[in-house]
Structure 1
Amino acid sequence: MGFFYESTNFTGWAIWLFILFALMAFNELGRSTKWGGIILFLIVPIGLTIFVWPTTAAPGNEYGTGTWFNWVKTYSALAGCLGFMAIRYIPSLAKKKWVLCFPPLILAINILEAAIRDFQCFTYGAWNGAYVDNLWVMSGSWNIMNGIAGLLNIIAICGWVGIFISKDKTKDMIWPDMIWPWIIAYDLWNFAYTYNCIADHSFYCGLALLLSCTIPAFFIKKGAWLQHRAQTLALWIMFVMTVPSFADRIAPVATTHNPKAFFILSLLSLIANVALVIYQFNKIYKNKLNPLKDEIFVETKAYKKVVEENR
């Protein structure tokens, strides 16, 4: 904690754990029942859009939730949840190849939004740290490194032609080619992004939020990482838009504002994503694959296990 974050007490960790498990629990509710998903990702957001967010996420508010990025991120995450639900529950959609372009497209858009935000934070010129739109940011080379890492992560999105719906009653959207190297590279990139651009909120929207989708992807429903990610992201950002004071006033855990911490995280993110792209393109070249038409990791144990468990 001392290098990346200011120290927190038992209460702070208890709140962090509550956020982690609440996100996982609501994700399971949205995943396990059709009506749970409809209520969480359609009915509740409509009510909040009309009656709550115009006040709590008004432009220029003191918590920084009124920026273009927060509004775009909210609705793009919700669009992903609803789109994935349509693919899961309308049998004819999952059989159409053009429909399967939606998951990688919405994922790429979300990553691109964040990469642009990293580059934007660099342009602020806040070399010693400053409040911009009521959020503390520190500009530096880390923004460029991590922005590039995000673009590489988009390039490494592969195998969406193999997306299918699981045979069990939850009808999860399974993407077997999205194996653990991509997920880890994404997590490192996204954590570095939150640390760079939402620094003093990243204890929650970085660590807790990423674990809330990564844990289910490894231990609860393998192969459904994107579904877990879309739903936990939508849940978190709806909460932040509704209770904007949470990370600043209610349960704040600030970063140390140490330039070395920013640099190290973004360097790790860049290295991981460069390695991922090299690994992936080596497989494409070696096996003479077309990344727009073929799945890349069909011979791996991770891929085979996901298919065996869900098809």
Structure 2
Amino acid sequence: MGFFYEATGLTGWAIWFFVLFALMAFNELGRSTKWGGIILFLIVPIGLTIFVWPTTAAPGNEYGTGTWFNWVKTYSALAGCLWFMALRYSPKLAKKKWALCLPAAILGINILEAALRDFQCFSYGAWNGAYVDNLWVMSGSWNIMNGIAGILNVIAICGWAGIFISKDKTKDMIWPDMIWVWIIAYDLWNFAYTYNCIADHSFYCGLALLLSCTIPAFFIKKGAWLQHRAHTLGLWIMFVMTVPSFADRIAPVSTTHNPKAFFIASLVSLIANVVLVAYQFNKIRKNKLNPLKDEIYVGSKAYKQVVQENI
């Protein structure tokens, strides 16, 4: 904790674990029943949009939730949740290739939005740290490194044509080509992004939020990482837009504001994504694959396990 974050006590860790398990629990509710998903990702957001967010996420508010980025991120995440539900519960739609490419497009757009935000934070010129839109940021080379890492992560998105709906009662959206290699590279990039751009909130929206979708992808429902990610991201953003004081006043855990921490987080992110892209390009070249049509990891143990568990 001492290098990346200021120390926190038992209460702070208890709150962090509560956030982690609450996100995982609501994700399970949203994926296990159709009505659970409709309530969480359609009915609740409509009510919040009309009655709550115009106040709690008003432009220029003291918590920074009123920026264009927060509003765009909120609705793009919710759009992803709803589209994935449409694929899951409409067999005809799930068979159409154009419909299957949208999950990859939504994912790529979300990553590029964040990469743009990293470049924007560099443009602020806050070399010694400053509050911009009521959020503390420190500009530096790390913004450029991680922005590039985000672009590389988008380039490495592969195998969307192999997406299918699981045969069990939960009807999960399964993306077997999105194996652990890409997920880990994404997590390292996204943590660095939250650390760079939402620094003093990243204890929750970085560590807890990423684990809330990665744990289910590894141990609860393999192959459904993107569905887990969309659900937990949508839930977290709705919570932040509704209770914007949470990370600043209610349960704050700030970063150390140490330039070395920013640099190391983004350097690891960049290295991981360079290795990922190089590895995938080598497999594409070696096996003469079309990255826009073919699945890259089809012969791997992880790919085979996901398919066997869901057909």
* Alignment TM class, shorter chain as reference: over 0.9
Q: Match for 2:7: what amino acid? A: S
Q: Does 1:234 align with 2:234?
A: yes
Cα distance in structure 1, aligned partners of 2:94 and 2:282: 30
The TM-score, its normalising length taken from structure 1, stands at 1.00
- The superposition leaves residues 236-273 of structure 1 with CA deviations (integer Å, 9 ceiling, x where unpaired) of 00000000000000000000000000000000000000
Counterpart of 1:52?
Answer: 52
Give the match for residue 281 of structure 2: 281
Residue 145 of structure 1: how far off its partner (Å) = 0.1
- RMSD over aligned Cα, in angstroms? 0.2
What's 2:6 paired with?
6
Counterpart Cα distance in 2 of 1:175 and 1:116 = 26
2: CA distance, partners of 1:286 / 1:171:
35
Q: Indicate the residue corresponding to 1:293 in structure 2.
A: 293
2:135 maps to 1:132: no
Q: Deviations over 1:171-206 (max 9, x none)?
A: 000000000010000000000000000000000000
Equivalent in the alignment of 2:94: 94
| Structure 2 equivalent of residue 30 of structure 1 | 30
Q: 1:231, 1:49 → 2: CA distance?
A: 18
Counterparts of residues 262-277 of structure 1 (less than 5 Å) = 262-277=262-277
Structure 1: tracts of 5 or more residues without a match: none
Rounded Cα–Cα distance in structure 1 between residues aligned with 2:92 and 2:149:
36
* Deviation digits for residues 58-103 of structure 1 (CA, Å, limit 9, x no counterpart): 0000000000000000000000000000000001011011111100
| SS of 2:131 mapped into structure 1 | strand
Code of the aligned partner of 1:271: I
- In the other structure, the counterpart of 1:213 is 213
1:17 maps to a residue whose letter is F
How much has 1:285 moved relative to structure 2?
0.3
Q: Aligned partners of 2:98 and 2:49: how far apart in 1? A: 31
Look up the equivalent residue of 1:230 and give its one-letter code: A
What does the per-residue CA deviation read over 1:88-136, in whole Å, with 9 as the maximum and x for residues that have no partner?
Answer: 0001011011111100000000000000000000000000000000000
Partner of residue 68, structure 2: 68
> Alignment partner of 1:136: what SS?
strand
Counterpart CA distance in 2 for 1:231 and 1:208 is 14
Equivalent position SS for 1:98:
helix
Work out the CA distance in 2 between the residues paired with 1:282 and 1:181: 14
State the match for 1:196 in structure 2. Answer: 196
Q: Which runs of 5+ in 2 are unaligned?
A: none
Are residues 1:149 and 2:120 paired? no
> 1:310 maps to what in 2?
310
Secondary structure, in 3 states, of the residue corresponding to 1:131?
A: strand
AA of the residue aligned to 2:181: P
How far off its partner does 1:228 sit?
A: 0.1
Render the CA deviation track for 1:125-177: whole Å, top value 9, x for unaligned: 00000000000000000000000000000000000000000010000000000
Distance in 1, matches of 2:132 and 2:294, equals 44
Percent identical: 89
Displacement of 1:44 in angstroms is 0.1
Q: TM-score, normalised by structure 2?
A: 1.00
Distance 1:93 1:278 in 2: 34
CA distance in 2, matches of 1:93, 1:217: 24
Distance in 1 (alpha carbons) for counterparts of 2:220 and 2:266 = 29
The amino acid that maps onto 2:210 is: L
How many correspondences in the alignment? 311
Q: Distance in 2 between matches of 1:125 and 1:144?
A: 12
SS at match of 1:113: helix
Aligned equivalents of 1:41, 1:292: Cα separation in 2: 30
CA distance in 2, matches of 1:229, 1:99: 19
* 2:120 corresponding residue in structure 1: 120
